[in-house]
Amino acid sequence: MLLRISVACVVLLTVVAYVAVRGMTGEDAAVCTARSAGGGADGSRDAPSYRLKPVQAANAATIAAVASQRGLPGRAVTIALATAIQESQLRNITHGDRDSVGLFQQRPSQGWGTVAQIGDPVYAVGKFYDHLVDIPGYSRLPLTVAAQRVQRSGYPRAYAKHETNAALLTAALTGREAATLTCTAGARKKGESGDPARVRERLTREFGRDVLADGTGSLGTSAAGGGSAHGVRPAGHTEAQPAVSVPAKGRRQGWELAHWAVANAEGLHITRISYGGREWSAGRSREGWRSTGEGDAKGGASRGPVRLLLAAGH
């Protein structure tokens, strides 16, 4: 009897240790991955990639969206992303050296704004770009030089080491490369549901009101667990999920919006994203962007909106 209890304890401890290790290594946690164009479409693990948590990916998406709203080039996005990776690891932190806070560790005492303002990622990103565009020829400067002229850091060479990862994120988040950013879905608590109004508010704050064309966006519902975000309700399903359809002016903007959505899927409770003949779904998130068998799955000229299906409360 004693032997059985001892064996049971050993097995239990082994299971606990295994779960703890998986938790610490992030194997059970949601993670986002940006890959180069050579590996994004088919999920090849041989292509260069950069892994980050959904909260980091969402902040990176905000950096790219604000640049899009201002009509800034991809080089501005890469500089901003590399800077934020160095300064905060793409986290909106509330502490830092002396009085620095936020994505870029901006200091209220140095005229960047109040703590509350800098704590708003959209504001912080905008202030960074305000300073960046004032630098003559910033897009032709080495990244570390351009970043340092904005930041005035005590470690001016530190930004350069993040340029490769920042460039991978830029290619995806500006829509230049299709299906190159994907996220695995974490566990969703029961009762949590997506809010179309919140999605629209985030889109207009980050991309500008024009992103929704008429200022509202198209709303609809789809069946929970169904295979479409097009408002088609499969037989046998009666529970409706809220859906948002965002107009895209061409392939690049479509993938810009689709990648923004997947980066924000966890925070905004987005369960399915469809665009350009590809689809990401929370239920099969480890498969990345899958072909829908419709339209242009190879990422060529795409038409139509980006369709988002949100979680329904339970």
Q: What is the pLDDT of residues 3-45, one digit of tens each?
A: 454 444 433 444 333 333 334 334 458 999 999 987 544 445 5
CATH number of 37-180: 1.10.530
Q: What is the pLDDT of residues 61-102, one digit of tens each?
A: 999 999 999 999 999 999 999 999 999 999 999 886 778 899
pTM of this prediction?
0.82
CA nearest to 268, candidates 30, 58, 33: 58
DSSP for 195-228, written as a single string: -HHHHHHHHHHHH-GGGGTTTT-EEEEEETT-S-
Q: What is the pLDDT of residues 261-305, one digit of tens each?
A: 999 999 999 999 999 999 999 999 999 999 988 766 554 456 689
Look at the block and give the residue holding tokens 């996005």. 77
Taking the C-alpha atoms of residue 247 and residue 147, their distance in angstroms, rounded to an integer, is 34
CA distance between the termini of the chain: 45
- Give the DSSP H/E element, type plus range, for residue 182: strand 181-183
- Give the DSSP H/E element, type plus range, for residue 44: none
- In the predicted structure, residue 229 carries a pLDDT above the cut 80: no
In the chain, domain spans: 37-180, 183-310
CB under 8 Å to 21, separation ≥6 — which residues? Answer: none
Taking the C-alpha atoms of residue 31 and residue 52, their distance in angstroms, rounded to an integer, is 6
Q: Helices 74-88 and 54-70: crossing angle, nearest 10°?
A: 140
CA nearest to 310, candidates 212, 227, 216, 199: 199
Phi, psi of 284 (to 5 degrees): -130, 40
Phi, psi of 151 (to 5 degrees): -85, -30
